[in-house]
Amino acid sequence: MTSVQIARPQIALQAPTAEDAACCTPTGSGPIHSAEQAQKLASLLKALAEPTRLQLLSLVAAHEGGEACVCDLTEPVGLSQPTVSHHLKILVDAGLLTREKRGVWAYYTLVPERVSQIAAALGDFTTPQSS
Amino acid sequence: MTSVQIARPQIALQAPTAEDAACCTPTGSGPIHSAEQAQKLASLLKALAEPTRLQLLSLVAAHEGGEACVCDLTEPVGLSQPTVSHHLKILVDAGLLTREKRGVWAYYTLVPERVSQIAAALGDFTTPQSS
């Protein structure tokens, strides 16, 4: 039997770069300087804006050694392994977790820099703008 | 003519309270201590996770006096007033903006404490947990 690989579009959720800030129509003097920047931050926030995903991030961050196997995560969130794996994939695609396959299991680690990046972007809203 | 007031359900997106943290099944020792807490943070993040809403927040924050009229916001985001008002309502319901009607226009102001609260909740993920 021939297996057909269907290429799935990769949604790259990259952090806003200097290029983003430099290009495009500025919409104001606030922390969001371009529509593209708003789009990227919104994509990252969307990956986070789901209760199970927030719980999974929390569990991984709190797990021994800062690393957790999908087998450690299904019971605490009370969901099936395919559902948990689906949520973990969204977090990995958003750069919030890294995934490493070892033996039969995949292990997940938090990317604290990515979370800090989002927190900092939100913090910019509350920082008085220089005129 | 009698005007009929239809009560619209108020979606209260309150900050996690001590009660939330105390109740319910703990899911781990990380920053998210209950399913309810995860639900509330996810609702707030969902209100933010939209490019136009991020741009609107940014525009309001950067506007003279930290306050903007819907009439100041339609042109920069390139959307109709009803669409902009719809997004602003979601931000007001989430407690991210306040709304004050003066004359014919509604004026919006950022609630920096609310944004800081979300940024702090995300920051908790990157803080090493005390054992």
Task: Write down the pLDDT at residue A83.
Answer: 97
Cα distance between residue A18 and residue B37, in whole Å = 35
Percent of chain A beyond pLDDT 90?
A: 59
| A31-35, A92-96, B25-29, range with the lowest pLDDT | B25-29
Domains of chain A plus CATH, in order, are 49-125 (1.10.10.10)
**ipTM tops 0.85:** no
Span B102-106, mean pLDDT? 91
Neighbours of A123 (CB within 10 A): 19
* Cβ–Cβ below 8 Å for A122 and B48: yes
Cα distance between residue A51 and residue A35, in whole Å = 27
Task: Write down the pLDDT at residue B35.
Answer: 86
| A94-103, B32-41, B66-75, range with the lowest pLDDT | B32-41
Task: For residue A25, give the chain B residue with the closest CA.
Answer: B76
Residues of A in contact with B51 (CB under 8 A): 35, 38-39, 41-42
Q: Using CB atoms, pick whichever of B29, B63, B122 lies closest to residue A62.
A: B29
pLDDT tens per residue across span B10-35: 333 444 344 433 333 333 445 677 88
Suggest the residue from B37, B72, B126 to mutate for an interface test with chain A (most A CBs closer than 10 A). Answer: B126
Distances (CA, A) of A93 to A14, A26, A96, B50, B63: 9, 28, 8, 18, 35
Over the range A49-77, which residues count as b (16 or more CB within 10 Å of their CB) and which as e? Answer: bbbbbbbbbbbbbbbeeebbbbebbbebb
Task: Write down the pLDDT at residue A45.
Answer: 97
Residues of B in contact with A38 (CB under 8 A): 51-52, 54-55, 58
Span A45-61, mean pLDDT? 96
Beta bridge partners of B115: none
Across all residues in chain B, what is the average pLDDT?
Answer: 79
| A4-13, B61-70, B95-104, range with the lowest pLDDT | A4-13
Residue A14 pLDDT exceeds 60: no
